[in-house]
Amino acid sequence: MKKLFAVALGILTAIGGFVDIGDLVTNAQVGSRFGMSLAWVVVVGVLGICVFAEMSGRVAAVSGRATFDLIRERLGPRLGLANLLASMTVTLLTFVAEIGGIALALALATSVYEFLWVPFTALAVWLVLWRAKFSLMENVFGLLGLALVVFAVALWQLGPDWGDLWHQAGTVAKPGSEDWSTYAYYGVALFGAAMTPYEVFFFSSGGVEEHWSSRSIATMRSNVFIGFPLGGLLSLSIAGCAAVTLLPAGISVDTLGQVGLPVALALGKIGLAIALLGFFAATFGAACETGLSLGYSIAQYFGWQWGKYVRPREASRFHVVILISTVLAVAVLLTTIDPVLVTEFSVVFSAVALPLTYFPILVVANDPDYMGEHTNGRLANFLGSVYLVVVLVASIAALPLMIWTKMGQ
C-alpha cells in the first residue's frame, strides 16, 4: 500500500512538474498562431524526453553518478569544460525565465508590477533551495502544478470541434498567413521547450539525492513513461485552448496574461484562479529545479560535494553557486527585460545545447563498465539513436531559423 502510494505520488509529481514557463509560453504561442498543426512536435518532444530521462535515470540509479560527472569522464576535461559552460549558460537563461515567470504570475494575481516581485520571488526560491528538503520541494510544487489540468477542463468546456482539432493535428499544414520558415522555427522552439537540458541534470541528480539503486529503476520508469506523457497532454491542452479561442480572434500570444485568457473565457474566475496557481507552481518548481541544476552541473564537473541531502555547510561551493546564480538572475530581470522574451530565447538555446548532454549519456548508457547488466536494450538503443539524429537536426537548425525568421515574426 505504501509502495503504491509512493509510485502514485511519483507519477503525479512528474505530471505536475512537467510544465514550466517555456512550455506555457511556447505552447500557447504555437496554438494561437498555428492551431494544432505543430502538435506532432510535442509528441516527438515528449517521447524524446522520456527516452533521455529514462537513460540518465538508469545511469544514475545503477552507477550512482549524475550527468555532468559522466560528461567530464567521457569527454575529457577540455571538451567537458566547454560543454559545462554552454549548458550552464542555457540553464541560467532558463532560470532567469522561470523567476521572471513567477513574478509575472504574481503580477497577474495582484496587479503589482512584475519587476517589484522579482527580488521577493528570487529570495523565496533561494530560501527553498537553502532550507527545504529535496522531496518536500519536489512533491509540493509537483502536486500544485497539477492545477494546470484546468486547461484540459477549459478545452473540454469550450466544446471545440474535436474532429477539426484532430484533423489539424494529423496533417502537416499551416495557416495560410504563416511561412514555412516560421512554422519550422516554432517547431524547434516547441521541441526545445519539451526537451530542456536542465530537466535531465535535475532528474539524474535527483536520483542520486534520493539514493536510487538498481531496484529503483521500475519506479523511475513508471514516473517517466506515465508521468511525462500525461504532462505532455497538459502542454497540448494549453495549445488547444489557444487554438480554439485566440487563433480565431487574431490574438498571437506575447504575454503570460494571454496564455490564461482562454481559461477565464471558458470557466470564469474560479478556473482562472486555479490556472494562476498552476502558473505559480509550475514556474516556482522549475525555478528550484534550474537553480539546483546550475549548482549540480558545476559541482559535478569539479567533483565538489553537492546536493540537498547534506547540510549547506558541507556543500559550501554548491550553495555559493546557487546564491550567485540567484543574484545574477535578479540583476538580469531588473534591467526590465521582458521575461517572455527571455523564455523565447531559452527554449531555442535549449534546443541548440541539447546534443551536448544527450550524446555522452547515450554513450555511457551503453557502457557495461558503468552499467553492468543494465546497458541499453535493443529498443532503448534504437530510440536513442533515432533521437540522436533528431536532437542534432534541431540543434543545427535552431540558430539559422531564429535569425532567418527574426524570432518567428
Partner 1 sequence: MTNPGRRLDARLHLLDRQILDVDGRMVASVDDVEIQRRADGTFAVTALLVGPGVLGPRMGGVTGRTMTAVWERLAHKDRTEPGRIDMSEVADIGSAITLSVRRERLSVAGFETWVRERVIEKIPGAFHEPQE
Partner 2 sequence: MIGLSRWRSWAAAVLIVLVASGCTTATPAPDAYRARTKLAVTDAISHVATAQKVLEATRKNKILGPYALVTVRASDETLGTVVGAYLELYPPQQLDPRFTKASTLLGDASDLVTQTRIALYRDDRADFPGLIKDLDSLSTKLERFEKELS
Interface residue with partner 1 among 115, 302, 359, 404 (CB under 8 A) is 302
Stretch that binds partner 2, among 74-82, 181-189, 213-221, 250-258 (CB under 8 A): 250-258
**Closer by beta carbon to partner 2, 194 or else 275:** 275
Stretch that binds partner 1, among 28-36, 93-101, 300-308, 375-383 (CB under 8 A): 300-308
**Closer by beta carbon to partner 1, 174 or else 308:** 308
Query: Considering the rule CB under 8 A, would residue 119 count as an interface residue with partner 1?
Result: no
DSSP, residue by residue, 162-176:
HHHHHHHHHS----T
Q: Give the cell for residue 284.
A: 516556482
- State the DSSP code for 158: H
Interface residue with partner 1 among 166, 305, 331, 385 (CB under 8 A) is 305
**Closer by beta carbon to partner 2, 111 or else 303:** 111
Q: Write down the H helix ranges in 303-377.
A: 316-333, 339-365, 368-371
Per the CB < 8 A criterion, the answer to whether 258 and 28 are in contact is: yes
Smallest gap from Cβ 320 to partner 1, in A, equals: 5
Query: Considering the rule CB under 8 A, would residue 392 count as an interface residue with partner 2?
Result: no
Q: Give the cell for residue 68.
A: 555532468
Residues 396, 386: Cα–Cα separation, whole Å: 16
Nearest residue to 152 via CA among 20, 15, 280: 15
Q: Give the cell for residue 358.
A: 544527450
Query: Considering the rule CB under 8 A, would residue 395 count as an interface residue with partner 2?
Result: no
Per the CB < 8 A criterion, the answer to whether 350 and 22 are in contact is: yes
Dihedrals φ, ψ of 366, to 5°? Answer: -100, 0
Torsion, CA 54, CA 55, CA 57, CA 59, rounded to 10: 160
Stretch that binds partner 2, among 70-78, 161-169, 264-272, 295-303 (CB under 8 A): 264-272
Residue 217: CA atoms inside 13 Å, Cβ hemisphere, count?
A: 17
Residues 36, 241: Cα–Cα separation, whole Å: 10
**Closer by beta carbon to partner 1, 63 or else 375:** 63
CA angle, 182 then 235 then 111, to 5°: 90
Query: Considering the rule CB under 8 A, would residue 319 count as an interface residue with partner 1?
Result: yes
Interface residue with partner 2 among 9, 79, 81, 109 (CB under 8 A) is 109
Interface residue with partner 2 among 8, 76, 82, 110 (CB under 8 A) is 110
Nearest residue to 191 via CA among 396, 404, 390: 390
Residues 409, 407: Cα–Cα separation, whole Å: 6
Query: Considering the rule CB under 8 A, would residue 108 count as an interface residue with partner 2?
Result: yes
Interface residue with partner 2 among 26, 204, 216, 258 (CB under 8 A) is 258
Size of the site for partner 2 (CB under 8 A): 26
Interface residue with partner 2 among 153, 217, 251, 388 (CB under 8 A) is 251
Nearest residue to 29 via CA among 255, 342, 181, 202: 255
Q: Which does 65 bind (CB under 5 to 8 A by kind): partner 1, partner 2, none?
A: partner 1
Smallest gap from Cβ 409 to partner 2, in A, equals: 6
In the window 336-365, what residues touch partner 1 (CB under 8 A)? none
Query: Considering the rule CB under 8 A, would residue 400 count as an interface residue with partner 2?
Result: no
Residues 319, 303: Cα–Cα separation, whole Å: 14
Residues making contact with partner 2 (CB under 8 A): 107-111, 177, 245, 249-252, 254-258, 260-261, 264-265, 268-269, 272-273, 276, 409
Binding site for partner 1 (CB under 8 A): 63-65, 69, 72-73, 76-78, 80-81, 130-134, 136, 299-306, 308-314, 316-317, 319-320, 323, 369-370
